[in-house]
Amino acid sequence: MQWWPSGVEQSGDGVVREIPQRYAWASSIWVSQEGVARRKWFNPVDRRWVWDAEPLPIIEVDGRAGIHAPGWVSVERAICMAWRLREPESAHRIDEVVRVRLVDTCDGASDGDEEMSASTLRWAEEEDGEEDAALPNETWKPLRGRVGAVPIGKGYAISSRGRLRDPRGRVTRGMWAFGRRWAAVAGAGLVDLWEAAGIDDGVPLPLSIRQARGALLANATPADLARHVGISEGTAWSYFCRANTHVDGAALRSRVQALVDPMLWQAVQRLRGQSVLGGPLSDLWEAVAPRLPPRLRRDANAISMLRLARTGAILPF
């Protein structure tokens, strides 16, 4: 069972914990031990969280109750994701798991009368309790940055071994989800500990590009990133352009189509298969500019849009 105190909050549904999501921007989903889930939203103006008025609706699929979190997730799985500690080696890739295999924690056969909750459900293989003793060669530094659009408060530290320390000195290695370790920072949400510690298997990215990549994957816009990080929109567009090479092709194409002006996207699409699409950006601009309205040709971010559109257009289907 989860113990990390920073991850506990109180909603109209009682005591709740956050359901991990690969990418989040300004909202999160929390679930009670009994499976009542509710979304809350971060208001960047007054920097306050607001709960939805109603819990998430239950969606029946093949006779099973679930929620959209995002994508359909069974209620049992949602509870376990938030409240139970899964053993990493229990599955090579958690995103391949369609149905969570649950086992009865009670001795003997269940009489079917016990209510479903975090105390009566468990993963088929769960992690043992953790120790907060120092690890060999472990160093610490202040945890800075954001969880999507939400700033991380002071007092937390991240270790070179990917552990999180709260303001009271308590330490956690986090929980396992989506092939990574996550732990909650009070008031901000779940932090990807490996990314925060810089121990990802991929190429290390500067904080600005990591933030842009997270915003891109969370369906946020350069304007959103600029507003929350305190940079110009033009700079945010440039960060998006640098981050796009670190995003999966299929995901990038869908994000680009949502970000780029439709008329610019259509103009680039008409050039598919032509050498100009892979040539200098200045030549590509000369090819598409006559097809664009004046207001778009004058847009200060048009070249950055074009760069993103070209990347999305040349990706194989």
**Tokens 């760069």 found at:** 307
Section 269-294 average pLDDT: 88
Say which DSSP state 56 is in: P
Dihedral, CA atoms, 186, 192, 198, 201, nearest 10 degrees? 170
Section 263-278 average pLDDT: 88
Give me the pLDDT at residue 96, please: 33
Give me the pLDDT at residue 248, please: 72
pLDDT at residue 212 is higher than 60: yes
Token output for 26: 């300004």
Least confident interval from 126-140, 148-162, 281-295: 126-140
Section 242-252 average pLDDT: 78
pLDDT at residue 233 is higher than 70: yes
Least confident interval from 55-59, 108-112, 136-140: 108-112
Model pLDDT for residues 29-79, shown as the tens digit of each residue: 999 999 999 999 987 667 889 999 999 999 999 999 999 988 899 999 999
Dihedral, CA atoms, 131, 200, 40, 259, nearest 10 degrees? 180
User: How many CA atoms, within 13 angstroms, populate the side-chain half-sphere of residue 175?
Assistant: 25
Per the DSSP assignment, residues forming a β-bridge with 140 are 159
The whole-model pTM stands at: 0.69
Radius of gyration for the alpha carbons in the chain, expressed in angstroms and rounded = 22
| Percent of the chain surpassing pLDDT 90 | 50
Residue 211 to residues 151, 182, 221, 242, Cα–Cα distance (Å): 12, 17, 12, 11
Residue 38 to residues 59, 188, 233, 260, Cα–Cα distance (Å): 14, 16, 32, 32
Contact 82, 1 (CB under 8 A): no
Give me the pLDDT at residue 45, please: 62
pLDDT at residue 251 is higher than 60: yes
Contact 157, 115 (CB under 8 A): no
**Tokens 């600005």 found at:** 208
Say which DSSP state 102 is in: B
Give me the pLDDT at residue 114, please: 58
Section 266-276 average pLDDT: 87
Token output for 146: 């954001």
Token output for 88: 């990493």
Section 96-123 average pLDDT: 61
Round the average pLDDT of the chain to a whole number and report it.
85
Model pLDDT for residues 152-178, shown as the tens digit of each residue: 999 999 999 999 999 999 999 999 998
Q: How confident is the model at residue 98 (pLDDT cuts 50, 70, 90)?
A: very low
More confident residue, 241 or 315: 241
Contact 289, 281 (CB under 8 A): no
pLDDT at residue 100 is higher than 90: no
pLDDT at residue 313 is higher than 50: yes
Give me the pLDDT at residue 139, please: 95
- Please report, as a single letter, which amino acid is at residue 120: T
Between CA 242 and CA 239 the distance in angstroms is 5
Give me the pLDDT at residue 316, please: 54
Q: How confident is the model at residue 17 (pLDDT cuts 50, 70, 90)?
A: very high
Give me the pLDDT at residue 9, please: 96
Query: Which range among 114-118, 201-205, 220-224, 250-254 has the greatest average pLDDT?
Result: 220-224
